[in-house]
Structure 1
Amino acid sequence: MTTAALLAMALVLDALLGEPDWLWKRLPHPAVLMGRAVSALDRLLNRGNGLVLKGALALALLALGALTLGEVLTRLGPVAEVLAAAVLLAQRALVQHVQAVADGLRLSLKEGRRMVARIVSRDTGAMDESQVARAAIESAAENLSDGVIAPAFWFLILGTPGLVLYKVINTADSMIGYRNARYEAFGKAAARADDLMNLIPARLTGVLIAVFTGQMREWHAIASDARRHRSPNAGWPEAAAARALDVALAGPRSYDGRMRDLPWVNPTGRKRIGPGQVAAAARLLWRVWLVFLLLTVACALLLPLW
């Protein structure tokens, strides 16, 4: 069975089941286990001198463990590979979290803030409705790349070892890849590795959104906005989603009590937005997922013939 066929089954299984609470109440989620490994290496190595090299060593150990686990899962057969891939993809969970923000905003601004705080790291306590909506849409676009397209891409390229490797690097970046006093040096290797592994998937996600929504004629503007984004990769899906939904994203926001004057993405789009636009973003996630699934099925059918 081809890797593309395995991926297609995993995409469908994740879409149907998402993150079953009954299972993860009894067993630790693989992402939690990855986080524990990162935390253990952080405590062990993030001290003294030579922190850049120690961070690189930590990343190498994580990568070795991920590749080994991926190889074990491969040897267990296609059922294990499909189940592992479905667990490490996050389409249904992502849509549910984004839709929860839309539903929360329809109840009250306070509830919208509470829901969006689950999926973003910025300060949410003083957000107005438009800021809550923008944060949710930005998270939807970025996590479509990080949580669905990128892991699927590396599964297609390197099989289960590639998928597990991507997820552990992405987890490490989310935990230690910060430019602050504690992680500026130690987390550098994780941050650079995550940037590299998302280089193609982020742009692929932007293309999928733009093609599906008829925005490829705006690709020059999408690319221009993406290059001004604070992230080398997140700007691509965000810029494409902003034009697909006709909204302005990014812009000024607060992190750790400090306002940052970031440039707008699609500055001519609507800035006064609310739950309707967030719900539209959730629907966009499913539509792009369907396009990607159909492409994966086409690969599964055509590659053996080729």
Structure 2
Amino acid sequence: MSTALMLAVAMVLDAVLGEPDWLWSRIRHPAVMIGNVIGALDRRLNTGTSKRLKGVGVTLLLSLGAVVLGTVLGWLGPVVEVLCCAVLLAQKSLVTHVRNVAEALRVSLPDGRRMVARVVSRDTSAMDEAQVARSAIESASENLSDGVIAPAFWFLIGGLPGLLLYKTVNTADSMIGYRNEKYAEFGWAAARLDDLLNLVPARLTGLMIMVLSNSFARWRGIVEDARRHISPNAGWPEAAMARALNVALAGPRSYHGQIRHLAWVNEAARKDIGPHEIERAIAMLWQVWALTLGLVIAGLALSLIP
């Protein structure tokens, strides 16, 4: 079975089944197991001197382990590869989490705050409705790239070893890739490798959003906003989504009680947004998913032409 066909089947399985509670309540999700390994290495090695060197070693060890594990699992056949790929894609779970924010926000602002706190790391207790909606849309945009397009891209490029390598590095970045006193050195390698692995997928995600929303005339603004973003990659899908919805995203927000004055994305657009705009973002998530699936199937069809 070709890699493209396995990816197409996995994408459909993920979109239909997502992450069933009956399964993951009984066994640990692979992402949780990866996180447990990273956490153990963090506790054991992120001490004393030479933290950057230790972090480089940890990143190399995790990467090698992911590639070896992916290779071994690949020997078990295409059914195992498809199931592993489906488990490590996140389309349905992403849509579910973002939709929960919209539904909660329609009930009350405190409900919206509690629900968005599950998908973002910033302070949520004092958010107004627009800030809750912006946070949900920003999370949807970034995780569309990190949780769907990038895993699919690396599965196509490197099969299951490529996918596991990406998911392991991305998980490491989310756990130790912070620019703070504790992780600035130890998490440096994981953060830089994650930036590299997301370089193409993030831009592909932004491009697909542009195509689907016919936003080519706003290309210059998308590029400018993406380059001002605190992340070298997340700004691309976020800036494209902001233009697709004609809303302003990002801007000042609070982390651990401290206000960070981050640049606005699409600053001149509407800022008074709410559940309706979140639902429009969800519609775009599905459109990008469908376009990706269509491109995979088209590539598969072309490969079969003699």
* Both proteins in one fold, TM over 0.5: yes
Which structure 2 residues correspond to residues 293-304 of structure 1 after superposition, within 5 A? Answer: 293-304=293-304
State the 1:219 CA deviation.
1.2
Matched with 2:276 is: 276
With the length of structure 1 as denominator, give the TM-score of the two structures.
Answer: 0.99
1:157 and 1:69 map into 2 onto residues whose CA distance is 17
Matched with 2:209 is: 209
1:219 and 1:203 map into 2 onto residues whose CA distance is 12
SS in 1 for 2:48: coil
Question: Considering only aligned residues, what root-mean-square deviation do their CA atoms show, in Å?
Answer: 0.7
Matched with 1:120 is: 120
SS in 1 for 2:56: helix
Gaps of at least 5 residues in structure 2 are: none
**Count of residues in correspondence between the two structures:** 306
* % identity of equivalent residues: 64
Matched with 2:6 is: 6
SS in 1 for 2:75: helix
Matched with 2:46 is: 46
With the length of structure 2 as denominator, give the TM-score of the two structures.
Answer: 0.99
Give the letter aligned to residue 265 of structure 1: V
SS in 2 for 1:199: helix
2:260 and 2:245 map into 1 onto residues whose CA distance is 24
1:245 and 1:204 map into 2 onto residues whose CA distance is 18
1:201-238 Cα distance to aligned partner (Å, 9 max, x none):
00000000000111122111111110000100000000
SS in 2 for 1:254: strand
Pairing 1:60–2:60 present: yes
1:80 and 1:40 map into 2 onto residues whose CA distance is 27
1:28 and 1:262 map into 2 onto residues whose CA distance is 37
State the 1:301 CA deviation.
1.2
Give the letter aligned to residue 240 of structure 2: A
Matched with 1:237 is: 237
SS in 2 for 1:127: coil
Give the letter aligned to residue 256 of structure 1: H
SS in 2 for 1:48: coil
1:132-178 Cα distance to aligned partner (Å, 9 max, x none):
00000000000000000001000000110000000000000000000
State the 1:305 CA deviation.
2.6
2:221 and 2:282 map into 1 onto residues whose CA distance is 23
Q: Tell me which stretches of 4 or more aligned residues in structure 1 moved more than 4 Å.
A: none
Gaps of at least 5 residues in structure 1 are: none
Pairing 1:154–2:161 present: no
Give the letter aligned to residue 303 of structure 1: S
1:72-122 Cα distance to aligned partner (Å, 9 max, x none):
111111100000000000000000000000000000000000110000000
Give the letter aligned to residue 195 of structure 1: D
2:33 and 2:299 map into 1 onto residues whose CA distance is 32
Give the letter aligned to residue 178 of structure 2: Y
SS in 1 for 2:254: strand
Matched with 1:35 is: 35
